[in-house]
Chains A and B, each alone.
Chain A
């Protein structure tokens, strides 16, 4: 099987899972327990937390809350950060952010949506125009999960702060963490990440938070995660996340360079009579969004699956809706959206993988086209 749906989820990193096994077996203690066993688990978790922070931020300036995943991190950031006035986001967001913004309306906060450019990046000027003295929060996705376009969140955050220093800046970094070189600056207040996009486990994520920033608790209870997210910690998940990140960050630049070549190789081999390209060239090396215009992407996905190639149509979380909200915001027509096919890579992806995938994709799409 050739797995090219890594933006949906990655296979768990076996070495990371093996290393974390001890927290399922002998070190199963509750990290809040006051005896030796509990303390050792507590210490391990602390190590994992610090390790993860240091990957992309200065531990003196940032904290990290373990969560159940990217969606929870986004929810926590948005509902904690936007409690009055208005909040600004983009039309290119993942549903975890977009739907939370829609909900803000019911909570007395005015949501504002900035338009995106053709490639999925936000229109910077339009975004800034929406920010005013009443803007509580701005949220901009770091890497667009459907097109792979990268927003320059650092420049955006700086510009937002220049316009209103009290506005919080959040970014959904789920498709960026462990894939792009990132260093969180002081302009970024909140940053969401997920474990299962980099070899960790589903059900684990984290929210980076600038120190001294007050958030509301998201789950009330025993006061874990500095009182912001109560509940006995998912120790095994958090440890696997930290170990997977350790491995992923060690080869981050080399992986990026290699996958950029593979991404372009795949594009080169795909039949241009059938496929059009959606992803920008300066987007993440990990995603190549294409469209078999006039065909049904979901049917192609199933045909590919039968031939041993796994790809996606876009955001897995929204694959129940016929057309992608994000691609519609980019201005694509229905036929292009209908045919959307997203290829996404991991460091495990090989050149043979993409060559074989392209061959099968061309064949399957030609068959489909012939049947139309």
Chain B
């Protein structure tokens, strides 16, 4: 009897002392959510989790979905067998390479097992050598491993490799943040990074229909759906700021267009944060990347915020952000050619270091409250 399983090991949860139970409970819920729709059983064993009874033809999909869950340190494709030496050897034959050097490493949780770890390794290694003459043992620098894990419940796990997981902490263990998700490269990466630290990330998108088109919104929807694979939050909120842009354009100094719009976005985001129970805002801003992301620009946004604004990319170069976007898989969608913010209203020379007094003076020309109220009326809730 031999069953194919996926072995999951977790990352930092063991550091959590007395709170460990809480973290583990949420971790299990997240694993279950990631595996939703796939037949499986999830079991907790000493210090790790096993996915069992899944359709072995969909093994890659199980590995992939599980590998994306934050808190997973690594996962392995393994074989679950009774813990007698014949069964372990049968499994080891499947895991061992066809030729080349290898090493058997044994871990023995069941200390009552008649052989020691060293003895088990030697015995299985010896049998493999006798079975396949193309194999050679190399205990110092083997090309392949055969890991044997003797468990306490009368079973053993045999596997050949570790695949690194997403790392981080389970989503849902570090509060909630509202992500300002544009159609660009940066904000999905920012959301990913906060979710990786265990934050529940609720995405919010600002659009300016009819100045921007349906395609732009669809693109953001795709990005949100992609992000949801990691954040496990399968919803998106959108707000239309077209009228705010028109009013700013009509009444305020052109060089402040973007600066003022961002202050509106922060205020609206705070209102929505209140609705969804978010304790902070998350943006993809990186210092100096564009005119509105100078220290003065960031200060201007911060000055209308009461919640902290987390900017996980603040010290990143564009190259570094792109590299991460590629790894997450959002880059291809982010670079699709749709305008996420209409260039109709883009100033030719945006203010790079606007003084707060100047900004407030220009903003005073608008009925800020009424415009926010009106924009809130365009709030849409989209289930991805």
What residues make up the interface of A, taking CB atoms closer than 8 Å to B?
296, 298-299, 302-303, 305-306, 320, 370-372
Contact = CB atoms under 8 A, between A and B. Distances in A.
Interface string B166-179: 00000000000000
B218 to A, nearest CB: 14
A306 B249 contact: no
B213 interface: yes
A372 B249 contact: yes
Interface string B214-243: 000000000000000000000000000000
21 contacts: A296-B211, A296-B342, A296-B344, A298-B213, A299-B210, A299-B211, A299-B342, A299-B344, A302-B209, A302-B210, A302-B213, A303-B210, A305-B210, A306-B210, A320-B337, A370-B250, A371-B246, A371-B249, A371-B250, A372-B249, A372-B344
Contacts of A372: 249, 344
Interface of B: 209-211, 213, 246, 249-250, 337, 342, 344
Contacts of B250: 370-371
Contacts of A303: 210
Nearest to B246: A371
A372 B345 CA distance: 8
Q: Which 4 A-B pairs have the closest CB atoms?
A: A302-B210, A371-B246, A303-B210, A299-B211
A370 to B, nearest CB: 8
A299 B337 CA distance: 16
A352 B337 CA distance: 38
B351 to A, nearest CB: 20
B244 to A, nearest CB: 12
A311 to B, nearest CB: 13
A370 B209 CA distance: 17
A90 to B, nearest CB: 27
Given A299-B210, A371-B250, A372-B344, 16 more contacts: A296-B211, A296-B342, A296-B344, A298-B213, A299-B211, A299-B342, A299-B344, A302-B209, A302-B210, A302-B213, A305-B210, A306-B210, A320-B337, A371-B246, A371-B249, A372-B249
Nearest to A321: B337
A299 B249 CA distance: 16
Contacts of B211: 296, 299
Nearest to B208: A299
A320 B337 CA distance: 9
B261 to A, nearest CB: 14
A306 B211 CA distance: 12
Contacts of B337: 320
Nearest to A371: B246
A296 B342 CA distance: 10
A296 B346 CA distance: 13
Contacts of A371: 246, 249-250
Contacts of B209: 302
Contacts of B344: 296, 299, 372
A117 to B, nearest CB: 31
Nearest to A364: B210
A305 B249 CA distance: 23
